[in-house]
Structure 1
Amino acid sequence: MSLELNKKALLYQLSSHASVSYEVLSDRLQCSRRTLKLLIESLLYSYDHIFSIQEVGGKLSLRIHDEEAFKVLVTEDLLLSTDLNSFHKRQAIFFRILLEADGYVSADTIADEVGISRRSLSRDINRMKMVLETYQLKLVSKTGVGIQLVGSELAKRLLYLYEVMDYLETKLELPKDLMETYTDFVQHHRFPIDVERTFHSTLLLTVLRRHHPLDEADFTWFTSQQSLDLPAIFYDILSYFMERPLTKAEQIFLTFPMQLGLLPAEIARIEILEMAETILRQTVQEFGITLDIRESGQVLQRHLVYMLNRSVMKWRFEEVSLREQLIQSSFSKIVSQFFVDRVVEITGVAVSEKEVVLLAAWMELLMARKSKPLIGRVAVITQSGQSFNYLVETQIRQIFGEAVQLDFLDFVNHLPYEELNKHYDLIFTDNLMYSQTLFQPFLSLSLVTKENQAEREALERTVLGRKIEMYSRVINLVFDEQVTYEENIENLLKVMESQGLISSEAVEKLKAKEAKNPAISEDGYAFPHLTDASLNQLIVVVAADFPFSVKTRAGQSIRDFILLFVPMELDDFNQDLLFKIFDNTFRMSSETHIKERLGLSHSSDTIRLSK
């Protein structure tokens, strides 16, 4: 992704949430915390008159000072900053040329407009074909004639929407009356800016490609709600400008951003319900499981409406964190994949692999309810936030009844699974997913069983490790096994002071504290720690090797080690993180390394004390 599109993605994410952590932003933008800070500095340097970004407790929030200027910035100005050195911009120009042509276009013409050689264009085209496959589009070439883009009009519009408009300015002036009506409509509904942006793009495309008719058959499996339709005057003005009435297919395409992201009510479609029941019967026969076909079909119906709507419009998902791994080998994933494959066979609609993960959550719930009909207590281990918790609570109660006791537990800080199994009938972990363009959480859960507890514990430690590495300075320590533990500590503090990590006052305070009362457990775990006002972030030093051979001056063997430097003032987030570090350091089995219990990787900074 180009720098300017990273800036756009960052602003879209911040404008769609009250506050966002660096961890979430890093996952979504696929860049480091340092890159994020550079992006923010660059944005504020140029646009601090339009908005400001505050950081509180490791979370970022956006304050917009000029709404109109902000919309222009994210929908137009940042696009103009990209250049042809970006493959994605060259690709966008290539697609636009073919989309605007009625027939074949010579490769020489395209190469000249893009500003590259024929050979370079050929290399680019090989990469572009992979993108076109996801839209069921293909390139047809004729020797001496040129290249043509072949496929349905809906697929071409979606290609234009997702692969061209993000990189190129659309030079199309819409009538003043139409834009005034559009502005009134979006202001009245107060859409998220990402929904509004996509809606503006579908409006431009509806006009831009008005001479290319949409096939209503492409929308057979798309469900729209009239409550999210546009006012009649909007269609009247648009029809007058286009010099003909809008078709039903055009109305669906025009309004799909609202229909996808904001569907508020229960939806019933008899053919989708019948399809759900048919595939459930096949699923029962295939795997020998027991499900109430009619009741399960009704529960799945709304999810299938969402799934098909997203699939028809190629609404792309991106996983947050590593949690999709939780269900890769689960039975519900196998059942879900079978179900989705049958949906594809019946509908002919291409469905993303990410939809399998979402559907697996429903399969977990349905199979759990059938295998344990009397469910009284359910736990959901999650770190996904209140909006997701509300969504899950609604669906859990729909399936297991209003009387069920439902508790939400922290993903990286809960009782051991052996204890949880004593208190709860069912335990789930979350697999929150977000779409790439319209940010909204979706239900995705995994059932915890005795067979997969070790896998989940490992993943929870990975998540904890990511948090520690994101919000703390983590250092691996290689001990000098030829000298005592106390000499190692003294040498370590000298190195940390020389590197500017801690002050000389902090060094003396820790040395005095350890001399008076060494922080060493009976099992040989050393955990020196200090709270000091000169620190501005948590510093975590862990032994790189386990076990190692170092003895104190008194002869006690040290087998594992963690050193913590803690700021005097911690916000709630970092206070909670510190508790989790201590809790996982001491709560888990003494057979494992502290570093493993905290989920820390091997890529952290290293200090070697060995000569």
Structure 2
Amino acid sequence: MLNKRQEKIIMLLDESKSWITGKEISRLMNVSDRTIRSDIENINRFYDKQLIESNLRSGYRINADVLVTLPIELNSAIPQTPQERCVYIIQELLFEKKEINLLDLQDQVFISGYSIDNDIKRIKIMLEPYDNLKLVRSRNCIRLEGSEQSKRLLYKELLSQETQGNFLNLNKLSSMFVDFDLLKVKEYLEETLDKYNYHVREMAMPLLMIHVGISIERMFRHNYIETTRNVQDLKKRKEYVISREFFTKLSKKMPIEVKEDEVILFALQLMGKRSIDVQSDLVVKKTGMNVDEFIEDIIKMIKDEFDIDFSKDLDLKNGLAVHLQGVMERINRDMDISNIYLQELKRKYPLVFELAVRVGRQMESTLDMKISEDEIGFLALHLGAAYERTSIYSKYRAVMIYPVEQAMSNMCLRKIENLFSERMDIVECVSFFEESAIRKLEPDLILTTLQLKHNLDIPTVQISLFLNTEDESKIFQTLNALDRNTFKRDFEDSLIGLIQKETFHYDLDLKTPSEVITYMCDHLEKLGYSNAEFKQSVLKREEMAATSFVYSFAVPHALNVRSYRPAISVAFLKKPIQWGEFEVKMVILLAIDEEHQDVLRMFFTWLSNMINDANHFASLLETKDYEDFLTKIVD
């Protein structure tokens, strides 16, 4: 039997994936080099295999090929860098514990008390932007104090940093696979797809290649998966033909054998949500719910617990629907599937993994079955990609209708993606129009090479297969019109709601900027939006430089003091007053809390557009009352 220190040595070497000297290990374990040598001898003797390799110059390294053959459960991921440790500590305080014992923490992450002290300093700096969040130390324990809203905001911002460019960047994802070149495999797949004029959206490719990579890793180790799903109809589909030819091509380039089950599973991945049409819905059999209802419950749980809205992410819904069928089958057959990147996912992406853990718990509760950590790791891949997509959801969703069997069609499609990929994402390609199917995809626009009339309220652009400059211009104009409509909708949803009648002032008879700011801030304080500190900050900012503009308005605001609640207070003066270099008639006081910082960007975008329309702005200055003001700013 191994002792706790020896188990930690295996974990440490597995996490490192490289050589570590005996001196480094002994320092982390607080024992002598000799004890470490003895521990490693005992580990190899216990497993009767050379699990840990040794080298006089380099030290020690885990033998990954031996590790996968042994029944070793490594349930903890060890954060290795200061940034990883800080996120680990914050995660523990957000989700697992009310407080952390620092002596236990040293034991968990294998570092000294001095390093922990430095990590605590880093965390305090990370918390500075959050006014009511603070890390409190009491003797040998630390805890996180603050509002639930601020804790959620902290989690989401750390999650954004964690996912940024890591789940949708194929170059980064390919580095996970050391035994083969995933980018070369992608070339083989694209050659096969092109041969059959089959389109896979650019956004869907990274996760699809992850599935391919994991399949190849399994096949390298002769660890083939099996499926008993009734998929006879699948063999008639183009996806099956593509999958078989793709794996046949791979088998000629790599030491792998083509297995029918792997071909079937990849064909189902290519089909996405449509794969449920050729197989029985295992969720219905287990719970009576269909897969769509089950996934909507998962999406709702994520929104309720994490304030993350995936309700519009069809890629996530489709990915979970396909993955869920595989999970159900594996559990029903008592079949394990290993995720060789589990520890790397847990260590590098702990916040994504935490999200996946919560989804796994929801699945366990509803399905009344145990979800393994390996399965949770696969869920984390879907969720990480979904969260990364939230940062690019400003892109419009387009459906392309064109004769998919024509060779020219793919050229047209590629050209559109090259020209407009930063502004829109082609979510589906179809060869004919079916109203119910198009409505279900919820596109922002339709591109078609065919003459098309329909009753849907969706902008539709007819283009030629050759995509000439006139076609490009029509698409640009449609996207620009969507931009204007989107901004107006977001503006009305986010900004107008902050301008309340109780914070609107008309015909104020005041003489100086200081009097106006004091009056407006005192009124906000009386209504419970802010406090006296907020007013002092606004006045101090005004002393630094006047916030007036040449167009007869001023925008006073605080330096770094947040309001309790977000508000935009508006005042129209009875007579223009001198405010810095300019005379001012309209005053807009910004009182924004931490959660609504994006409102500032939207406000100044609106203001810039308004100033550029002199007639509109002149009309705004002639506002008669609150209702008239709202009408004019959204006009």
Q: TM-score of the superposition, structure 1-length normalised?
A: 0.32
Q: TM-score of the superposition, structure 2-length normalised?
A: 0.31
